């Protein structure tokens, strides 16, 4: 199997960000903060979130970005011919570009069986992200072969906006077939003369499910998940699959985080962290250019480590003073803990890179992102103080 290891499965997810064209004059103000509003405008674009079913075996009832486990079909040699329709030079440039500078995270650089090496893993996981997004939301990111042939060489030297095909009855029929068999995605591309729009997907992050899930749950599912980011100039139509996903919502990163803060929506630590990162971007254009420019630097795989203190649960990440020198990758040890309160720990260990959760007096689960270290690979740190932002107008609740 191409993406199934002994301790986890490899997966891909897609942060789809779109221009905010249907909202008017939404602004926010920092409350009790000296940071100027002009420096933080993560309310000027929207991202797609899907709510997982209560029957889901992983993250039930939580809002997530679309994505899922990679299939053998995502690594098929048949993709060579499909991408070859864009021209040999375009295909070669693309394959070289996605490798960036240097070795990628383990899911990209590890050795696989020969039958799964025809295309770079960086391409296979982009295909996975596009296919799973199509299955879960109906959004199909693809380019017509006829348009590609009119372009001498697909450009990788400047940012590329994603291309979402307009949904019709034919695409809906194919969606059902792809949901049942991932290899049908290859057949669909051939039949429709389209190519998955991998050009517009940029490496963003890589999250490995905490090993402590093995201790907390008897039969946990763990995933090594590549997060890609894609910017669209217009929002496509979305239709959740009513199986794994039961609700879809476009919302600004700020509004989604504030709805989580208010107890109206549940989101997992990686989603909270990545949404907080987006708060640093003033516009879709800035985010688009940033994601492309930093993609020459490879992402690192992060393994959050669960840490329980007197009044909170923390998920520590590399660079945090409390992060172990040798993290427990396979859940063979005990959960780290301390009798100190969160504030006491902060004073004793000042370098923070973590998400944290506590239950307030009203029984609501509150989440925070805390980061005061410098990010590697020219990435942006999350804006941690989102709870102290006031929105003058908001979307409907998730």
Mean pLDDT, residues 7-11 taken together: 96
* pLDDT tens by residue, 63-119: 899 999 999 999 999 999 999 988 888 888 888 888 877 889 999 999 999 999 999
Mean pLDDT, residues 373-381 taken together: 93
What does the pLDDT read at residue 331?
87
And the tokens for 93? 């440039």
Is the pLDDT score of 390 beyond 70?
no
Structural contact between residues 226 and 107, judged by C-beta atoms closer than 8 angstroms: yes
What does the pLDDT read at residue 362?
67
User: 32 pLDDT band (50/70/90 cuts)?
Assistant: very low
Could you tell me how many residues make up the chain?
A: 398
């Amino acid at each position: 199997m191409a993406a199934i290891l002994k301790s986890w499965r490899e997966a891909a997810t897609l942060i789809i960000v779109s221009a905010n064209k249907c909202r008017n004059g939404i602004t926010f103000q920092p409350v009790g903060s000296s940071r100027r509003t002009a420096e933080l405008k993560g309310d000027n674009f929207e991202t797609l979130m899907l709510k997982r079913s209560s029957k889901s075996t992983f993250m039930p009832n939580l809002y997530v970005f679309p994505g899922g486990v990679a299939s053998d079909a995502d690594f098929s040699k048949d993709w060579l011919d499909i991408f070859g329709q864009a021209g040999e030079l375009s295909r070669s440039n693309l394959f070289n570009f996605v490798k960036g500078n240097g070795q990628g995270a383990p899911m990209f650089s590890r050795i696989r069986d020969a039958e799964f090496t025809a295309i770079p893993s960086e391409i296979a996981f982009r295909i996975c992200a596009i296919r799973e997004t199509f299955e879960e939301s109906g959004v199909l990111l693809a380019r017509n072969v006829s348009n590609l042939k009119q372009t001498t060489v697909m450009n990788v030297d400047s940012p590329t906006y994603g291309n979402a095909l307009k949904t019709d009855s034919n695409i809906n029929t194919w969606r059902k077939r792809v949901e049942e068999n991932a290899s049908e995605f290859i057949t669909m591309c051939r039949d429709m003369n389209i190519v998955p729009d991998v050009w517009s997907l940029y490496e963003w992050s890589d999250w490995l499910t905490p090993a402590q899930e093995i201790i907390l749950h008897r039969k946990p599912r763990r995933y090594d998940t590549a997060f890609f980011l894609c910017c669209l100039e217009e929002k496509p139509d979305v239709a959740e699959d009513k199986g794994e996903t039961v609700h879809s919502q476009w919302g600004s990163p700020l509004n989604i985080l504030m709805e989580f803060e208010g107890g109206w929506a549940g989101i997992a630590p990686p989603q909270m962290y990545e949404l907080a990162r987006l708060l640093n971007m003033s516009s879709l254009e800035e985010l688009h250019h940033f994601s492309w420019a930093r993609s020459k630097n490879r992402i690192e795989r992060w393994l959050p480590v669960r840490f329980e203190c007197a009044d909170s649960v923390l998920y520590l990440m590399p660079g945090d003073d409390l992060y172990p020198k040798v993290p427990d990758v396979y859940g063979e040890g005990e959960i780290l803990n301390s009798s100190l309160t969160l504030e006491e720990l902060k004073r004793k260990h000042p370098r923070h890179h973590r998400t944290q959760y506590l239950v307030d007096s009203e029984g609501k689960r509150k989440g925070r992102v805390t980061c005061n270290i410098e990010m590697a690979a020219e990435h942006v740190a999350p804006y941690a103080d989102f709870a102290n932002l006031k929105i003058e107008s908001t979307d409907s609740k998730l």
